[in-house]
Amino acid sequence: MMRSNSVIADELYDLEEGRIDPKQFPHREHVRLGFEMLGRYAFPEALARFAKGLRQLAIKGGRPEAYHETITAAFLALIGERRLDRDYRDWEDFAANNADLLSKGLLREWYEPEVLNSVVARSTFVLPKRRICAA
């Protein structure tokens, strides 16, 4: 479904203001709005805006503990990296060529479950475990 720039701008504003119904905001919509946010702002600003909106939605949904800093930052970084890998016509083209991003479990490739389930990872961005390379 093709959305106009003004509709997308309204959706992003609604996210930032916490006006989206958390029950109507599945993972795919998180990725879509992350994609759109990164199309408008540099990564640091997009992350700040996106995180603010997600925190507000978690509070609105009665589950402030549901917000997760590491998952938010890691997914947004992956979306940003993929956006720069090649030109995409729009969100649908991006989604079709990056279907793995639509899986909530994708970060298991980089993080152990105990790390993602930790209080620290929920509160601040945690880098994936460093690989030790033989010299």
Residue 46: Cβ within 10 Å count:
21
Query: What is the reported pTM?
Result: 0.90
Helix (H) or strand (E) holding 120: helix 119-123
User: Rounded distance, CA 12 to CA 6, Å?
Assistant: 10
Q: How far is CA 13 from CA 18, 20, 49, in A?
A: 8, 10, 9
User: Rounded distance, CA 46 to CA 51, Å?
Assistant: 8
Query: Is-contact 52 58, C-beta < 8 A?
Result: no
pLDDT, tens digit, 9 for 90 and up, residues 78-134: 999 999 999 999 999 999 999 999 999 999 999 999 999 999 999 999 999 865 556
Query: Is-contact 81 70, C-beta < 8 A?
Result: no
